[in-house]
Structure 1
Amino acid sequence: MAGSDDAPVAAADEALYVLTAVLLTPAQFPSVLGDDYPAACAALGLTPLDEGYGLVLGQDGDGARWTAVIDDVSLVAVAIASWDCGMEYELSPDERTLVAALPGWPLALAVAAPDVPAPHDPDTEATDPPPLTPPDTSTWGPAQRRLGADEIALQWAEWRGRLDDADVLPNKQASGTEATAPEAEAAPETEPEGTAKPGHPGVRQVLEEARAYIDAPPPLGRVRSSFAPGDARTLRADGPGWSIVARTDDIAFILLDTEPGEVIPVGRGPELPGLLEGLDKIAVRPL
């Protein structure tokens, strides 16, 4: 998602050449930063306001990386929507909307502003906070797990198309009995029709923890609901060590910190529809 790379905006005492922008709101935030909205804000040292923030990432005239935090969420949302449609949009927030100018970038960018030095961290005083850096995604862990869930949500049709109905057996895990979730990235072994696979304790625990959210709502943003074709919704839920991506009219995919690189599909069965319906009722939604 590239912005207008030659549009300066005031940040600190210098112009910032905008490269991109992202929302930091309860319903939409860079999930690589945390399992929920308060955690994502804490990663940036920000107070989790109900309205959220816009994050504008760019470089100053010396090429240093800066993240401008603004409170004009609508402006950033319009810019992102325009860029996603392939339209030009010069994002130039008013100085009065600036909440903070943070050194560094919290996300990895593959673009750079023209006619300025290569991106680098700015010089800071000893008393200043260290520059922001993207979470380490070189090895499997929470950040990689959440990025994987992001990818599945964006490419649902592709991931769903990898599975035949026979690959996703009816789920009985939500009631704490048998697991029926073969791994999506490994070719499941052929078994006689009607044979149940052994339970996966990690998946059973995830479904139990997700169900507990319905009775005791988790931190804001830990369960999110977004658009899907037809009358369905795309659900995203995260918790300690796990992520769920699901369609309310279909199956769910689970990723675990303890299962590096694995994507576990969970069939609907008798329990999953009710779980997804309950999660959708408590989920935050984009405005």
Structure 2
Amino acid sequence: MAGTEAAGEETAQEVAAAREEAAGEDELFVLTAVLLTPAQFPAVLGDDFPEACGALGLVSDERGYGLVLGQDGTGARWTVVVDDVSLVAVAIASWDCGMEYDLSPPERSVVAALPGWPLALAVAAPGVPEPHDPELPDDSPDGLLLTPPDTEQWGPAQRRLGADEIARQWATWRDQLDEQSDSKTFEGSEGALHPQVRRVIDALHGYVANPPPVGRVRSAFASGEARTLRADGPGWSFVARTDDIAFLLLDDEPGEILPVGRGTELPGLLESLDKLAARPS
């Protein structure tokens, strides 16, 4: 009986150890998080909020989601989608202020756990293997694994990321322009416009007349009373300040940034776009 009892204790210990190991593999070591809302979403995912949700296989719920990026105990990359947007927003705000915040979404808020990361991260969780893609079953559908865009090849994702970077570093990009760039590129008359610029301006007027899918035009805080506007469309990305000029990035012009001066047409267009734009709550 003693031998049986000892064997039973050993078996129980093995089971407990196995459970602990499995729990460690399932634990998510959070590295960062981003919002997926009509006003704020990773540009790599699409031109607008419904398209961004579709890229992740999510329902386009305008209440939004939080995307939590991390590694499991084996080092595999995972993106956990949660519906507690406020929790993720608080974590992001805390990190931006240099404060620590333990982001641990409750299980009831988890909508999906997606393999891979949609964004490139330069950090890794300590104490676990290097970040790598999780092993998926052979019968997994194509496109299930999330991967960041190839930065070596120009395309829609890179174009949108470029526009986002200009929005974040507006003063830097603005200072690089020659004083005459405003009038050279956009005079407010059709004859003075670069054909591609005219096409985008016409498309933006179309957005004003017939509002596009939510998130296609977004408005964020800028200095003073100005707003920073971002808009996207087929083959183009637009970024502007309501009190200043605009910049265009085009799929057909890899790596090129076209400045659009205020002229007589742009101020009214920007005002109209700001009225229909999605804004952070």
| TM surpasses 0.5 | yes
Aligned counterpart for 2:104 among listed residues 92, 100, 112: 92
Which residue of structure 2 lines up, in the alignment, with residue 72 of structure 1?
84
> What letter matches 1:65 in structure 2?
R
User: Could you state the TM-score of these two structures normalised by the residue count of structure 2?
Assistant: 0.88
RMSD: 1.7
Pair 1:123 & 2:135 matched: yes
Instruction: Give, in angstroms, the shift of residue 255 of structure 1.
Output: 0.6
Out of 208, 211, 214, the position equivalent to 1:214 is: 208
Q: Which amino acid aligns with 1:206?
A: V
Counterpart Cα distance in 1 of 2:189 and 2:203:
12
Flag structure 2 segments of 5+ consecutive residues without an equivalent.
1-22
Mind listing any 5+ residue stretches in structure 1 that lack a counterpart?
Answer: 1-10, 180-199
In the TM superposition, what is the alpha-carbon distance from 1:47 to its structure 2 partner? 0.9
Corresponding residue to 2:238 among 235, 244, 253:
244
- Partner AA of 1:116 in structure 2: V
Amino acid at match of 1:125: P
Q: Helix, strand or coil: the match of 1:284?
A: coil
Deviation at 1:173, TM superposition (A): 6.4
Distance 1:137 1:239 in 2: 20
Equivalent residue runs for 1:179-258 within 5 Å: 179=193, 200-258=194-252
The answer for the alignment partner of 1:49 in structure 2 is: 61
Name the SS of the counterpart of 2:202 in structure 1: helix
Q: Which has the higher helix share?
A: 2
Question: Residue 168 of structure 1 aligns to a residue in which SS?
Answer: helix
1:177 CA drift (Å):
3.0
User: CA 1:174/1:136 → structure 2, altered by over 3 Å: closer, same or farther?
Assistant: farther
Supply the AA of the counterpart residue of 2:170: W
Q: Percent identity?
A: 71
Output aligned runs, 1:56-67, within 5 Å: 56-67=68-79
Instruction: Please say if residues 104 and 133 of structure 1, whose CA atoms lie closer than 8 Å, have aligned partners that are also in contact.
Output: yes
* Structure 2 letter corresponding to 1:99: V
Code of the aligned partner of 2:156: P
Contact 1:104/1:132, CA 8 A, preserved across alignment: yes
Distance in 1 between residues matched to 2:45 and 2:117, nearest whole Å: 12
Contact 2:187–2:262 (CA<8 Å) still a contact in 1?
A: no
Contact 1:27 1:224 in 2 (8 A): yes
- The structure number with the bigger radius of gyration is 2
Superposed CA deviations along residues 17-73 of structure 1, whole A, max 9, x for unmatched, are 000000000000001111111111111111111111000000000111111000000
* Corresponding residue SS for 1:165: coil
SS in 2 for 1:219: coil
